[in-house]
Chain A
Amino acid sequence: MPRLYLRLVSVAAVLVVIGAWFIAAKLQLVDPLFLPGPIEVMTTAEQLIDEGYRQVSLWMHILVSVARALFAFFIAAITGIPIGLLMGRSPIFNAVLDPFVQFLRPLPKLALIPLVVVWFGIGEVSKFVLIYLSTFLTIVVSAASAVMSVPEGRIRAAQSLGVNRQQLFRHVILPSALPELFTGVRVGIGIGWTTLIAAEMIAASSGLGWMVINASSYLRTDVVMLGILLLGTIGYLLDLAIVTTQRLMVHWMGKG
């Protein structure tokens, strides 16, 4: 009951904001250049679906962006999780990698663009590198900290029962670390999606991030607004997908 109630409050809040947006646009409270109304944005969406934006259909822009983000995300997860786990388990390994990770992680990825262009060119590789880097670093850090925060007592208890290293990792550390690991992955995909705009600033001619940037060159705030709504919605759906996977895979989360 309270859960359903809270959900209704959320829905109501969203509807109120959309309603306010609608009324603000209808009464022209705000210059339409600054805040194009919902109807204008919908008309633009229709137009972009029919005619495309810059000779590329809206679906294609969405697909390209999602593909860029997801591909980089998967590679980041595949490489980041093992490295993070290792860093969490091995103090030496951690000591070697930690300075680099801590240096790169807070670095605004926009600052890397000139270097990324010089090193990797203006093709898909440089876009991949930017998204990958920010996702990877987040995942590494959270995987390492997930392993480190496994209660020492639990490890000792298992060791005293005579488990070997492999068993310890497989049956004690991994299950204990998994909930936090998932949280890291969740944050990682969010950051990867955020980096998309930066990545698509580099010589792109498709993708939602590029669409927003290009439209802003001509102050097409309706296209910008549509792009932002789509970026936000897709980001939300990606997050939802991770949360659902987490609920299915880590059913013991919060129970012990």
Chain B
Amino acid sequence: MSIRAFRLLAAALSTVFVFFGSASTAFAADPEVVRFGWFGGPRPWVIGKANGMFDKALGTKVEWVQFPSGAAALTSLAAKQVDISRLGSTPTVAAISRKVPIEFIAISGIIVTSERLIAKSGINNVAELKGKRVAFPPGSTAHYALMAALKVNNIPANQLTLVSLTPADMVAAWKRGDIDAAYVWGPFSQTMEGDGGKEILATEQLQKNGYYVWNDYVVRKEFADKYPEIVVKFLQAFQQTVDMYNQDKEGMVKLIAQHLNQNEAAVRDTLAGLRFPSMKEQLSSKLLGEGGSIAPAMLDTARFLVELGDLRQSEIPPSYKPFINTSYMERAVR
């Protein structure tokens, strides 16, 4: 009896070990499929989703994995369920600090006005948010921007009620009058604006106080080491979609809106609220190059997450520069 019990236990334990062990074994030669993480929002690269450009450029099948927020994408990156993902600056910093093996390969867009603070009529500026209920998607770039806005305006967080909601729930709460303001991106921001909301701040205005918020592409390091060519081709194809958008904004807005089943005006507005720096600009000393502003901005974001209690001080590296790998972009522009 007892021997049998122990055998059973041993079998159960070895299954556990095999399970965890297999999680770390590498996979076979060529990627049958490359998995992209995205969030369903309108972006130039959606053009490539609609017309199959990425499949063609990469010479392999592309699977688009949609996440409700960066938080969910993080977990999937850690679990190796996604190879390349667009990610907001805040989740990117959180992932790198938590030692998820990923590399920052390029900026996909700098947030200018695509994320903004929408408030009910009667609230005209950030200072008037005192005592109000303000919603934000937890762990997002908008969350970071909201906290930065409060700091810039010297409002302690305990003087208002902060409500963490997914963007979709935010719209529901807004319609019911459960929240007075929300910091969010399109198409949700436009829905609220169409329902009596008014913009009181856009992320762009925080730049002068040194708060940079952007979206980027990250790749699993293991994947990039194995298939560097794919990463380069991906960046080239992405740049092509940005060029296509820049050449024919109205046509591309229509295409993206149709593909995503979203309102055209909201798509136009969101795309106009993003700035897409060229790869040359990205590689310059302005952004990702030597002395660029992104690596220090990542450190600021990390400090902010420590302040919130979401990261530990001991996890923060002295610099985020080593996690930015511009070599793929350098090859892509060649």
| A218:B98 contact, CB within 8 angstroms | yes
Residues of B contacting A16 in the complex (Cβ-Cβ under 8 angstroms): 9, 13
Please measure, in the bound complex, the distance between the C-alpha atom of A218 and the C-alpha atom of B162, giving whole angstroms.
18
| A121:B176 contact, CB within 8 angstroms | yes
Q: Which of B24, B71, B162, B178 contacts A216 (CB 8 A)?
A: B71
Residues of A contacting B176 in the complex (Cβ-Cβ under 8 angstroms): 117-118, 121
Please measure, in the bound complex, the distance between the C-alpha atom of A216 and the C-alpha atom of B98, giving whole angstroms.
11
Residues of A contacting B310 in the complex (Cβ-Cβ under 8 angstroms): 214-215, 217-218, 220
| A117:B173 contact, CB within 8 angstroms | yes
| A30:B20 contact, CB within 8 angstroms | yes
Residues of B contacting A13 in the complex (Cβ-Cβ under 8 angstroms): 9
Whether B327 is near chain A, meaning CB under 8 Å from some CB there, is no
Please measure, in the bound complex, the distance between the C-alpha atom of A151 and the C-alpha atom of B178, giving whole angstroms.
52
| A218:B78 contact, CB within 8 angstroms | no
Please measure, in the bound complex, the distance between the C-alpha atom of A202 and the C-alpha atom of B96, giving whole angstroms.
28
Interface string of B15-26 (1 = CB under 8 A from A): 011001001100
Residues of B contacting A214 in the complex (Cβ-Cβ under 8 angstroms): 138-139, 164, 310
Residues of B contacting A250 in the complex (Cβ-Cβ under 8 angstroms): none
Contacts A16-B9, A219-B94 given: A114-B168 contact, CB under 8 Å? Answer: yes
Residues of A contacting B178 in the complex (Cβ-Cβ under 8 angstroms): 121-123
Q: Which of A51, A114, A203 contacts B163 (CB 8 A)?
A: A203
Residues of A contacting B162 in the complex (Cβ-Cβ under 8 angstroms): 205
Per DSSP, chain B at the interface is helix
Whether A34 is near chain B, meaning CB under 8 Å from some CB there, is yes
Total residues of chain A contacting the partner, CB 8 A? 34
User: Closest CB of chain B to A3's CB: distance in Å?
Assistant: 14
A47 to chain B: closest residue by CB: B312
Q: Which of B23, B139, B165, B179 contacts A217 (CB 8 A)?
A: B139
Please measure, in the bound complex, the distance between the C-alpha atom of A117 and the C-alpha atom of B78, giving whole angstroms.
31
Contacts A202-B169, A220-B310 given: A33-B78 contact, CB under 8 Å? Answer: yes
| A53:B309 contact, CB within 8 angstroms | yes
Residues of B contacting A215 in the complex (Cβ-Cβ under 8 angstroms): 310
| A29:B13 contact, CB within 8 angstroms | no
| B169:A122 contact, CB within 8 angstroms | yes
Total residues of chain B contacting the partner, CB 8 A? 42
Please measure, in the bound complex, the distance between the C-alpha atom of A54 and the C-alpha atom of B5, giving whole angstroms.
44
User: Closest CB of chain A to B175's CB: distance in Å?
Assistant: 7
Residues of A contacting B164 in the complex (Cβ-Cβ under 8 angstroms): 203-205, 214
B79 to chain A: closest residue by CB: A34
Residues of B contacting A51 in the complex (Cβ-Cβ under 8 angstroms): 309
Whether A35 is near chain B, meaning CB under 8 Å from some CB there, is yes
| Most-contacted residue by chain B among A204, A216, A218 (CB, 10 A) | A218
Please measure, in the bound complex, the distance between the C-alpha atom of A54 and the C-alpha atom of B69, giving whole angstroms.
20
- Contacting residues of chain B (63-86) with chain A, CB-CB under 8 angstroms: 69-71, 74-75, 78
Interface string of B99-111 (1 = CB under 8 A from A): 1100000000000
- Contacting residues of chain A (202-239) with chain B, CB-CB under 8 angstroms: 202-205, 214-220
Residues of B contacting A114 in the complex (Cβ-Cβ under 8 angstroms): 168-169, 172
| B165:A203 contact, CB within 8 angstroms | yes
Please measure, in the bound complex, the distance between the C-alpha atom of A20 and the C-alpha atom of B16, giving whole angstroms.
10
Residues of A contacting B95 in the complex (Cβ-Cβ under 8 angstroms): 219
Whether B308 is near chain A, meaning CB under 8 Å from some CB there, is yes
Please measure, in the bound complex, the distance between the C-alpha atom of A92 and the C-alpha atom of B18, giving whole angstroms.
55
Contacts A53-B309, A54-B309 given: A217-B138 contact, CB under 8 Å? Answer: yes
Residues of B contacting A122 in the complex (Cβ-Cβ under 8 angstroms): 163, 165, 169, 173, 178-179
Whether A31 is near chain B, meaning CB under 8 Å from some CB there, is yes
B74 to chain A: closest residue by CB: A219
- Contacting residues of chain B (1-35) with chain A, CB-CB under 8 angstroms: 2, 5, 9, 13, 16-17, 20, 23-24
Given contacts A122-B165, A214-B139, 13 further A-B contacts (CB under 8 A): A24-B20, A114-B168, A117-B169, A117-B173, A123-B178, A203-B164, A205-B164, A216-B71, A216-B75, A217-B74, A218-B71, A218-B74, A219-B95
Cross-chain pairs A/B with CB under 8 angstroms, 24 sampled: A17-B13, A20-B13, A24-B17, A29-B17, A114-B168, A114-B169, A114-B172, A118-B172, A121-B176, A122-B169, A122-B173, A122-B179, A202-B169, A203-B173, A204-B164, A205-B164, A214-B138, A218-B74, A218-B94, A218-B311, A219-B95, A219-B98, A219-B100, A220-B311
**Which residues of A come within 8 Å of B, CB atoms?**
9, 13, 16-17, 20, 24, 29-31, 33-35, 51, 53-55, 113-114, 117-118, 121-123, 202-205, 214-220
**Which residues of B come within 8 Å of A, CB atoms?**
2, 5, 9, 13, 16-17, 20, 23-24, 69-71, 74-75, 78, 91, 94-95, 98-100, 135, 138-139, 158, 162-165, 168-169, 172-173, 175-176, 178-179, 305, 308-311
